[in-house]
Chains A and B, each alone.
Chain A
């Protein structure tokens, strides 16, 4: 055993903050592993996100297609749009997001965040012991926080990416069945792409917002408390 005391005589060392590290790539590795091992738990956390984001993407891409159709100026297409549920007044030249639609979207996203918080709190509770162990091995609060945020970020990216693509695809299929190929030829694809990307981004942000509180609970926990939990 080496006989060096790490502590200076005055009781603290300025080297300390550099001495405990968790390289970023290592934390990514741990986060991915953790998601893989707890696949079903991650799936449940992600699924509400997938649904909410696909709904968002569905409405946004739907509006894009409808706008494309409207821009042709054909009254027949306009009539079919109105019949399929778009509130179009005679003077409208584009499908705006009606307040009703916006409310539904906001509500679905809110419900989704609550769902994520709930699922993540459960996940944290299940992992009390693991968190406590890591802290006993010298993990700092910030490591735990980072691991949870990374996991949520990855889940958010995959979940909302999948959701956005599914929602967008459904919107396209829906319009294709109603209007045929004209809905594709008139559609601004960049606009649709932006809608899908936007929905993905919103999903990622929601996932991170949802995990914030549970991750903070996990990070602040004292190791003894964590160990005391019976599992």
Chain B
């Protein structure tokens, strides 16, 4: 495997929404390449088109013009089956609101994607327990979501995202509904996963704690990419952000 493989390629993507009679251009031509195995943060204020771009990369939405390639496959060309396949095996999703299926236990949540992928029940349960142990919930796999705290639910979601060994994990504001410490734990868990398993992690966020672990930060502003910073260039902007009041210090790691 070449480490510089481009797992996601976005070319000249625009996206417009109809808002009543008004056409709103959420993305105004975005070009982006994401290298496999990296930890990417997409940063930007709300309304910047961040979520739109994010959904596009995840194959949850199709661009109005332009193309999105995942593993060199144009997702606009995929039919419903292939999209489902992509969502099942290639991409793991993590959401701000956790989106644990409430009627199922933690373990059942984790094994559901494996069932979709055709794995036998026993093997799925075994792997599910392993994944839950890995995210630190080894003793809670029979719990229902309402018996778990927000941070624990997000851990279940992470385990579920990893169920079919995806190449990409998409995390939409994964720390948005969590307190500072829990959010930090989740971020480090994600970072650890990206390092140990070589999973590409793409997270849309405005949590500045994320900068610390990101290999690359994509700043979105007003439907366009403002700038893309690699890890080594980050210190400049960190200094700038760090000067904002109420922000915890960002240590180099």
Contacts and interface: CB of A to CB of B under 8 A. Distances in A.
Contacts of B93: 136-137
B85 A138 contact: yes
Interface stretch (B73-81, B207-215, B217-225, B232-240): B73-81
A7 B113 contact: no
Contact of A7 (B71, B79, B84, B103): B71
Interface string B65-101: 0000001111001111110110111100101010111
Given A19-B85, A224-B61, A138 B77 contact: no
A134 interface: yes
B92 to A, nearest CB: 9
Contact of B73 (A11, A140, A224): A11
Given A22-B115, A137-B160, A224-B61, A1 B199 contact: yes
Contacts, number: 110
Contacts of A141: 80
A132 B139 CA distance: 28
A134 B101 contact: yes
Q: How large is the interface on B (under 10, 10 to 19, 20 to 34, 35 or more residues)?
A: 35 or more
A131 to B, nearest CB: 10
A17 B77 contact: no
Given A11-B77, A38-B103, A137 B87 contact: yes
Given A6-B89, A20-B116, A138 B84 contact: yes
26 contacts: A1-B199, A6-B85, A7-B72, A7-B73, A11-B74, A12-B77, A12-B82, A13-B82, A16-B82, A16-B85, A19-B85, A20-B81, A21-B116, A23-B115, A129-B97, A130-B101, A130-B102, A133-B95, A133-B101, A136-B60, A138-B85, A139-B84, A139-B116, A140-B81, A223-B60, A224-B60
Interface of A: 1-3, 5-7, 11-13, 16-23, 26, 30, 33-34, 37-38, 129-130, 132-141, 143, 222-224, 227
The 8 A-B residue pairs whose C-beta atoms are closest, nearest first, are: A138-B88, A37-B103, A3-B1, A133-B99, A137-B113, A7-B73, A1-B198, A138-B116
